[in-house]
Amino acid sequence: MLEQTIGTMDVLLEASERELAMPSSHACAHGKNVWTLITNNIDHEKIHTGQVLEGRYESRMTASTMERLVAEWLAERARFIGSLIGLTDEQFNSATAPGSGPIGLSPSTYVCSSKTR
């Protein structure tokens, strides 16, 4: 699943924004464009997440505390990685304000990453 996700990200990042407005014949695009197809797929992922969570709840297969912790951490890590998309190395390494550190190395980021090594 991770390899498929990375492959999809690569394809999307290589595409131009102009391509999002192109018509799509895929059934999930509902007769509209590529942007609609992709956003419908995002919504579909959310639906599947709800189905899995409901199934786990109904089957009393609640995640352990560590499983829940890892799942929550992974979701936030993905959100963080998503915030970096489109930044160049120069932008990532530039200060956000005079006297502050670079975007990618705020004091809290450094403390957390150095403690895990």
Integer Cα distance of 46 and 51 in angstroms: 9
- DSSP structure string for 62-108: PPPHHHHHHHHHHHHHHHHHHHHTT--HHHHTSBSSTT--BGGG-HH
- Higher-pLDDT residue of 110, 97: 97
Express each pLDDT in 20-68 by its tens digit: 999 999 999 999 999 999 999 999 999 999 999 999 999 999 999 999 9
How is residue 68 written in tokens?
A: 């829940």
The pLDDT of residue 109 is 53
Spatial contact of 54 and 62, defined as CB atoms under 8 Å apart? no
pLDDT of 98 > 90? The answer is no
Lookup: tokens for 90: 């120069």
pLDDT at 107: 46
- Please say if the pLDDT value at position 92 is more than 70: yes
Q: Is the overall model pTM greater than 0.75, yes or no?
A: no
Single out the residue of 117, 91, 96 nearest to residue 106, CA to CA: 96
The answer to whether residue 95 scores a pLDDT higher than 90 is: no
